[in-house]
Structure 1
Amino acid sequence: MTHEPKSSAPYAVDYTKMFDLTGQRAVVVGAGSGIGRESAIALAAGGAEVICADRNLIAAKDTASRGPGMSAYELDATSSVDVEGAVAEIGAVDTLVVTAATNVRKRILDYSSEEFERVIALNLRAQFDLFRGFGRGMAERGKGSIIGFSSMRATLVEPGQSVYATTKGGLVQLLRTIAAELGPQGVRANAIAPGAVDTALTVPIRSNKEWDEAYATKGALDRWAHPSELAGAVVFLASPAASFITGSQLCVDGGWTAVDGRYTPPMG
């Protein structure tokens, strides 16, 4: 069977609605805090119905209370059974955003097998389950946007980031493969790569004055990002404005990867 390419004929575009998400249904995994919370609020503000999924149901409910069109859903993304149940219960979605991640900052020779498995389980295996689960429905309906969160560590590394960087680099390739495989069915898949963002995951860095200042000054903008500054990229990739963007990694890192700042942090 030969592959018939879709027509690229011009069509009318209403530029006033390029970022309008009215009628869309989105699920944000990791919506209980940080980037996930801001992403959920921003998608809802754009007009989407948003399911705020998180392992911490209280936190998910708190996020859902911050705007119209949002609901909370308890989900342990590291459980394949939980993910399968969520896919069946939540049903069809137009956008999937996954921000949940963890890190263990240790040098390779000090890493334990248990720590390795724990980081891989959330940062890569859970993402695979979520992308596959919700992506199947998108492919069947002929449309959808999958948005994962990689990191500047997918490109640049430092001591103590071996497993985390590995998962983030792998995540980019996973999303690119999804883009290649599901693109003909109308599904887009992209990664957002943050730089230094003030979240719960970076508390150990921010609590060390030297480390905190080093990260602030290594980017081009000379500061840390607030989680809300990542939400615009999420809305963009979910919106009609990004209709021809897939298989890409969008850097939202304050210029870190452009200027290639480097700092060797304390390992404890």
Structure 2
Amino acid sequence: MGEDPKGPRTAYRDLFRLHGRRTLVLGAGSGIGREAAHGLAAHGAEVVCADLDGDAAASTANAIGAGAEPYEIDLLEPGAAEQMASRYAETHAVVITAATNVRKRLADYTRDEFDRVLTLNLGATFEVIRAFGPRMEHNGGGSIIAFSSIRASTVEPGQGPYAASKAGLVQLLRTAAAEFGHAGVRANAIAPGVVETPLTAQIKSSPEWYQAYAAKSALGRWARPAEMVGAVVYLASDASSFVTGAVLAVDGGWTAVDGRFEPPAS
């Protein structure tokens, strides 16, 4: 007897369902993190909205309503990630969006500025992975999602330490995929192009700079934070059950297109 055709179709409809699963979003107070929290909740997840700014975290959680709660955290405080993971040990997915940047040429960078960028972008992510990875391993599965960048593979003047931190982030996640994968724990990176967030305010303030970045994208524009949500939900859900150690580019074709010159067809 053949397989009931309604069975697979029903299962496929549930691929993106997150009902009954707790997700934790770091950086949920604004930008990509805030939209990710809303998107995960829209697919049924219980969402912990974590942020350095407790009021912003509460604002996101209140806007989501039932099933969301705020959590104030300074990821640079020793033991903060471990304390958070202990409180939310039964967590299905962790989304890491917190990051910072100092745009300067290498010769102008101070060691303090270098340490500030690497400590948050790479060091804090290491602490989160180290705190949640073993707990997900014990629970029999989970998803760790962190935001890298196109700068992990393409650079420009003034982006050195930031680019290095985002490239290192990819390798941390791949290592987590290798070490925790036997228990069904997946670890993946999302690599956006230019997104209109507080982190890119310096670029947005310069019309020439803003337009140059827009022109570099194959789509000819910047991304909105909401356009990162699909990738987050995908990687948090069963739709990506065999995806780990991957880097998902959500960059409008930035890294696929070599410049914007269009040579004649013949």
| TM-score, length of structure 1 as denominator length | 0.92
Whole-angstrom distance in 1 between the partners of 2:226 and 2:233: 11
Match in the other structure for 2:109: 111
The 5 A counterparts of 1:244-263 are 244-261=242-259
Asked whether the equivalents of residues 55 and 74 of structure 1 are also in contact (C-alpha less than 8 Å), the reply is yes
When residues 159 and 253 of structure 1 are mapped into structure 2, their CA distance, relative to the original with a 3 A threshold, is same
Runs of 4+ aligned structure 1 residues displaced above 4 Å come to none
What is the Cα deviation at residue 69 of structure 1? Answer: 1.2
What is the Cα deviation at residue 137 of structure 1? Answer: 0.4
User: SS in structure 2 opposite 1:18?
Assistant: coil
Query: Could you say what the CA RMSD is over the residues aligned between the two structures, in angstroms?
Result: 1.1
Q: Which amino acid aligns with 1:173?
A: Q
The 5 A counterparts of 1:1-268 are 13=8, 14-67=11-64, 68-261=66-259
Q: Which amino acid aligns with 2:13?
A: T
User: SS in structure 1 opposite 2:218?
Assistant: coil
User: SS in structure 1 opposite 2:194?
Assistant: coil
Unaligned stretches of 5+ in structure 2? 1-6, 261-266
Q: What are the Cα deviations for residues 50-92 of structure 1, in whole angstroms up to 9, with x where unaligned?
A: 0000000000001111223111000111223221211112221
Whole-angstrom distance in 1 between the partners of 2:136 and 2:85: 11
Asked whether the equivalents of residues 33 and 59 of structure 1 are also in contact (C-alpha less than 8 Å), the reply is yes
Match in the other structure for 1:3: none
Q: Which amino acid aligns with 2:115?
A: E
Q: What are the Cα deviations for residues 27-70 of structure 1, in whole angstroms up to 9, with x where unaligned?
A: 00000000000000100110000000000000000111122311
Whole-angstrom distance in 1 between the partners of 2:259 and 2:80: 40
Q: Which amino acid aligns with 1:46?
A: H
Q: What are the Cα deviations for residues 118-139 of structure 1, in whole angstroms up to 9, with x where unaligned?
A: 0011000000000110111000
User: SS in structure 2 opposite 1:105?
Assistant: coil
What is the Cα deviation at residue 261 of structure 1? Answer: 4.2
Whole-angstrom distance in 2 between the partners of 1:70 and 1:92: 15
Identical amino acids, percent of aligned pairs: 57
Whole-angstrom distance in 2 between the partners of 1:237 and 1:143: 13
What is the Cα deviation at residue 260 of structure 1? Answer: 3.7
Whole-angstrom distance in 2 between the partners of 1:93 and 1:111: 38
What is the Cα deviation at residue 147 of structure 1? Answer: 0.2
